């Protein structure tokens, strides 16, 4: 039902609130009437946008100064529309949800006022002074994101400087064609479904002042801070987030298309939000270059894959592959058809995993390639001997020094073959040598086997490049485990005979291999199809009963070897690459993995890296801080862009989370978060008592706030099983046990363990049994408890049925006993 059919009741608002809301209702009505008119009058009519552009350009040349601003703006809008339509992806303004921001601008020169609305599509001004600008149309929407109400603005549009004052800046929520919320500097006003408007309380934005006095008051022992389920909440609708994006976030989203943007931000500061909006922004700027299939979003776990896939359509970028590193690398390696079967073994010893993620491996790869090239040159020289033309042939090889090794050998071979100025005998000798060199350089499986099984070289590298990192026992484990990989070099006879075609398929990758479309490679959809198309994964079983296969960490090593040898990854003769790559939660990747990803970006390296040093979950990748990761990944000069405001969690949650982090938290980070309900600590003698208390609180919560999401988070999965079973018996509604990242992202109660919840968000979080055993005073426990706590948007409880962890502030525990 649209707003016009309702009878809004503004009686409960102050005069100012009433005036603001009435003004917004009027604008919405005018826009909706116009959209109705357009839909009736000209269904399917396609405007000649090019003609409009030319008209506007001519008008601009002759326009009076006071009209220029509006004309330039319209030109931008038409140009943007034209770009979108040119790709056949036009979508009209959605009358149910036409815009989310409102600016009233007064131009300095003409003193004329115009209303510019910001939304997800463009609607040109048809003379009534109202237009909608696509938020991705940066020159215009920049005014919305960069300026506050009453600010004077000065912006360059196409080399013209436009000046004026922002008279009004409001964000609005239109849901199902009805205006439901208006946020203005004067206040936030909300309407229920029946059109009754009121002032919103407790909705203060995070600010440096801390919004004192706006905390939602919650009776002790009650889970839940919202009394009115009718109230639309900011954090549940991504479209609204687009309205709320702040200046710093917008600056990051609209960074130049090329180059690496590294975002460091605390939990809930909007890193993922910024990264996804950046993808949408780039796609809008250049749909051809940043087509969905040419971008990649790499996230930490399957739950985030699912969550982001849900979100992409609302940003207009569905079709962008979203995946995890593991899935991506395994699928890619299978497509590359190496002669070693791509199947992984479990139970990799910690020391081995740590070694394979350590930058030492990058150095070992570089060293190995260095030796190979030296040996190659020696061989070439030896074969050429004193023959006439030897120097000329050698000079060709040396001239190609900057090419990737395999390409260098191939190119040199071709050039020498074609160079008739080199006498025949020298040419023939060079050709023989170069063929052998090329074949040797191409064999990355051999490289990998050598790296793993040359025990002496391994020991030396560990000693030299990672002194003190691996002790003698670690080194022994690494050498032993890796040496066993030698067996992968042997093709079991039965298998080789069983399927000759298959063996053929697994031959060394070649730049001229059969074409395989890169699209779908990493989009996750191919997982099943992938399994069908690729030889079933196999491992070798030794007589000892041990299975030998690749370790998960080997994927990155093999991919890196291929990149170094071939100058990239090639599928079907084409470089496998992306126009833009998002790497989320980058602190949990190893430098070698980041390096592999970066080298999958096209020239210009358009990459967004987001992460938080405080949210480490992988502890064996050697991550200490960004400068070191960037250095190891070959990016020493990338600037780190901070996001400082916490949007997800309240000040109370963040204060507790900082205490939990202890020395891992950098004290210079200011805490900017909105006020909220106090963190609750509840101590019980045993689990049964805790369950009884929780069951009551959760039942009441689900009754009061049926749309709420709540996570009950344990340290270990088995503990989640226990709580889940007990709560189920206690008939807690909408209860789910989430054990394998299979969140439904719907209202209800998810019982899960801390490793599942990374990157996610819930209205309420209860950490179950934060005891001294579950969360001891060690780095890993600090990070894990911090991650669990910062998933809470509104309220956090700690429910403990054992001696409490030292990571919980003493005064919180004491207060709970009073």
Q: Is 273 in the site for ligand ATP (CB under 6 A)?
A: yes
Q: Is 301 in the site for ligand ATP (CB under 6 A)?
A: no
- Length of the chain equals 818
Question: Smallest Cα–Cα separation from 762: which of 772, 773, 750?
Answer: 750
Q: What is the DSSP string of 234-302?
A: GGG-HHHHHHH--HHHHHHHTS-SSSEEEEEE-TTSSHHHHHHHHHHHHHHH-TTTT-GGGEEEEESSH
Is 270 part of any known ligand binding site? yes
Task: Say if strands 113-119 and 178-184 run parallel, antiparallel, or are unpaired.
Answer: unpaired
**Least distance (Å) from ligand ATP to the CB of residue 118?**
14
From 122-130, 183-191, 268-276, 546-554, give the range in contact with ligand ATP by CB under 6 A: 268-276
By CB under 6 A, name the one of 438, 648, 737, 782 that touches ligand ATP. Answer: 648
Q: Is 709 in the site for ligand ATP (CB under 6 A)?
A: no
**Least distance (Å) from ligand ATP to the CB of residue 611?**
8
Angle (CA) 712 716 721, round 5°: 65
Residues 6+ apart with CB under 8 A from 34: 123, 126, 128, 130
Q: Is 587 in the site for ligand ATP (CB under 6 A)?
A: no
Q: Is 271 in the site for ligand ATP (CB under 6 A)?
A: yes
What Cα–Cα distance (Å) separates residue 229 from each residue in 217, 235, 239, 457, 706?
Answer: 16, 14, 19, 65, 7
- Which of 615, 621 has the CB closer to ligand ATP? 615
- Which of 52, 615 has the CB closer to ligand ATP? 615
From 36-44, 261-269, 390-398, 445-453, give the range in contact with ligand ATP by CB under 6 A: 261-269
**Least distance (Å) from ligand ATP to the CB of residue 787?**
8
Using only C-alpha atoms, the chain has a radius of gyration, in whole angstroms, of: 31
Q: What is the DSSP string of 784-803?
A: HHHHHHTTEEEEEEEEESSS
- Which of 279, 384 has the CB closer to ligand ATP? 279
- How far, in Å, CA of 356 to CA of 592, rounded? 9
Which x/- pattern, by CB under 6 A, does the window 735-774 give for ligand ATP? ------------------------x-x-------------
Torsion of Cα atoms, 477 then 483 then 488 then 489, to 10°: 170
Is 267 part of any known ligand binding site? yes
Q: Is 612 in the site for ligand ATP (CB under 6 A)?
A: yes
By CB under 6 A, name the one of 84, 122, 171, 249 that touches ligand ATP. Answer: 249
- Which of 244, 441 has the CB closer to ligand ATP? 244
Q: Is 790 in the site for ligand ATP (CB under 6 A)?
A: yes
Task: Say if strands 680-683 and 792-800 run parallel, antiparallel, or are unpaired.
Answer: parallel
From 124-132, 260-268, 329-337, 567-575, give the range in contact with ligand ATP by CB under 6 A: 260-268
What Cα–Cα distance (Å) separates residue 515 from each residue in 519, 557, 574, 724?
Answer: 12, 24, 8, 50
- Expressed in angstroms, the distance from the first to the final Cα of the chain is 51
Number of C-alpha atoms within 13 angstroms, CB side, residue 494? 2
Q: Is 647 in the site for ligand ATP (CB under 6 A)?
A: yes
- Which of 73, 761 has the CB closer to ligand ATP? 761
What number of chain residues touch ligand ATP (CB under 6 A)?
22
What Cα–Cα distance (Å) separates residue 292 from each residue in 180, 280, 288?
Answer: 33, 9, 9
Look up tokens 């509840």; give the residue. Answer: 682
Q: Is 244 in the site for ligand ATP (CB under 6 A)?
A: yes
Q: Is 681 in the site for ligand ATP (CB under 6 A)?
A: no
**Least distance (Å) from ligand ATP to the CB of residue 283?**
18
- Which of 74, 790 has the CB closer to ligand ATP? 790
Q: Is 270 in the site for ligand ATP (CB under 6 A)?
A: yes
Number of C-alpha atoms within 13 angstroms, CB side, residue 49? 19
By CB under 6 A, name the one of 49, 80, 132, 241 that touches ligand ATP. Answer: 241
Is 269 part of any known ligand binding site? yes
Is 568 part of any known ligand binding site? no
Say if CB 620 and CB 357 are below 8 A apart.
yes
From 148-156, 161-169, 262-270, 431-439, give the range in contact with ligand ATP by CB under 6 A: 262-270
Q: Is 242 in the site for ligand ATP (CB under 6 A)?
A: no
**Least distance (Å) from ligand ATP to the CB of residue 583?**
12
Mark out the alpha helices in 514-605 (DSSP H runs). Answer: 526-533, 554-566, 591-598
**Known binding-site residue numbers:** 265-272
**Known binding-site residue numbers for ATP:** 265-272
Which positions lie near ligand ATP, rule CB under 6 A?
234-235, 241, 244-246, 249, 265, 267-273, 612, 615, 647-648, 759, 761, 790
């Amino acid at each position: 039902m649209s707003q016009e059919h309702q009878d809004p009741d503004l009686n409960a608002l102050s005069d100012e609130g009433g005036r603001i809301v009435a003004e917004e209702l009027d604008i919405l009505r005018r826009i909706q009437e116009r959209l109705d008119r357009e839909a009736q009058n000209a269904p399917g009519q396609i405007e000649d946008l090019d003609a409009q552009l030319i008209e506007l350009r001519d008008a601009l040349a002759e326009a009076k100064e006071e009209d220029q601003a509006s004309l330039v703006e319209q030109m931008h809008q038409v140009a943007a529309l034209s770009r979108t339509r040119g790709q056949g992806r036009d979508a009209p303004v959605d009358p149910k949800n036409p815009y989310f921001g409102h600016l009233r601008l007064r131009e300095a020169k003409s003193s004329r006022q115009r209303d510019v609305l910001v939304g997800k599509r463009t609607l040109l001004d048809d003379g009534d002074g109202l237009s909608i600008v696509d938020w991705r149309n940066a020159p215009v929407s920049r005014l919305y994101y960069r300026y506050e109400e009453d600010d004077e603005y000065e912006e360059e549009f196409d080399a013209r400087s436009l000046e004026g004052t922002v008279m009004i800046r409001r964000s609005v929520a239109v849901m199902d064609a009805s205006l439901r919320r208006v946020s203005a500097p004067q206040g936030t006003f909300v309407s229920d479904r029946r059109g009754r408007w009121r002032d919103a309380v407790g909705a203060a934005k995070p600010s440096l002042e801390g919004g004192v006095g706006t905390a939602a008051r919650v009776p002790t022992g009650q889970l839940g801070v919202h009394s009115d389920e009718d109230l639309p909440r900011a954090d549940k609708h991504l479209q609204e987030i687009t309205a709320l994006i702040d200046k710093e976030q917008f600056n990051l989203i609209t960074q130049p298309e090329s180059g690496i943007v590294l975002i460091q931000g605390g939990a809930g500061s909007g890193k993922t939000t910024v990264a996804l909006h950046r993808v949408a922004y780039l796609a809008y700027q250049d749909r051809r270059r940043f087509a969905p299939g040419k971008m990649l979003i790499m996230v930490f776990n399957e739950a985030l894959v699912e969550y982001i896939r849900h979100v992409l359509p609302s940003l207009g970028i569905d079709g962008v592959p979203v995946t995890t590193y593991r899935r991506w690398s395994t699928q890619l390696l299978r497509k590359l058809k190496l002669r070693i079967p791509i199947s992984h073994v479990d139970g990799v010893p910690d020391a081995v995993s740590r070694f394979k993620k350590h930058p030492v491996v990058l150095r070992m790869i570089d060293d190995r390639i260095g030796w190979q090239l030296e040996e190659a040159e020696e061989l070439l020289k030896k074969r050429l001997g004193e023959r006439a033309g030897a120097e000329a042939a050698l000079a060709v090889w040396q001239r190609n020094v900057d090419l990737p090794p395999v390409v260098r050998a191939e190119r040199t071979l071709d050039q020498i073959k074609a160079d008739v100025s080199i006498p025949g005998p020298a040419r023939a000798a060079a050709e023989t040598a170069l063929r052998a060199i090329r074949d040797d350089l191409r064999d990355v499986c051999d490289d990998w086997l050598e790296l793993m099984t040359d025990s002496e070289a391994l020991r030396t590298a560990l000693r030299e490049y990672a002194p003190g990192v691996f002790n003698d026992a670690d080194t022994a484990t690494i050498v032993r485990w890796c040496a066993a990989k030698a067996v992968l070099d042997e093709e079991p006879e039965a298998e080789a005979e069983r399927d000759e075609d298959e063996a053929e398929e697994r031959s060394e990758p070649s730049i001229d291999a059969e074409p395989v479309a890169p699209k779908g490679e990493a989009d996750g959809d191919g997982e099943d199809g992938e399994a069908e198309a690729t030889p079933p994964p196999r491992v070798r079983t030794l007589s000892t009963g041990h299975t030998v296969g690749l370790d998960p960490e080997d994927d990155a090593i093999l991919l890196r070897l291929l990149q170094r040898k071939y100058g990239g990854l090639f599928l079907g003769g084409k470089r496998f690459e992306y126009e833009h790559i998002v790497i989320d939660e980058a602190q949990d990747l190893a430098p070698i993995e980041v390096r592999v990803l970066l080298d999958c970006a096209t020239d210009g390296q358009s990459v967004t890296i987001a992460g938080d040093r405080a949210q480490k979950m992988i502890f064996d990748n050697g991550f200490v801080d960004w400068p070191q990761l960037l250095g190891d990944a070959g990016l020493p000069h990338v600037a780190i862009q901070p996001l400082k405001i916490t949007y997800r969690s309240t000040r109370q949650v963040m204060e507790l989370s900082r205490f939990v982090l202890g020395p891992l938290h950098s004290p210079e980070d200011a805490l900017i978060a909105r006020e909220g309900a106090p963190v609750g600590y509840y101590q019980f003698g045993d689990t049964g008592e805790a369950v009884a208390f929780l069951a009551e609180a959760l039942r009441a919560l689900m009754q009061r706030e049926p749309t709420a999401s709540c996570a009950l988070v344990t340290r270990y999965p088995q503990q989640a099983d226990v709580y889940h079973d007990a709560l189920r018996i206690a008939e807690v509604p909408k209860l789910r046990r989430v054990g394998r990242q299979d969140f439904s992202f719907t209202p209800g109660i998810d019982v899960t363990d801390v490793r599942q919840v990374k990157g996610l968000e819930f209205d309420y979080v209860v950490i179950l049994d934060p005891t001294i055993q579950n969360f001891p005073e060690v780095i890993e426990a600090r990070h894990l408890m911090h991650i669990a706590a910062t998933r809470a948007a509104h309220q956090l409880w700690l429910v403990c049925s054992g001696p409490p962890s030292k990571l919980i502030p003493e005064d919180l525990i004491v207060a709970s006993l009073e």
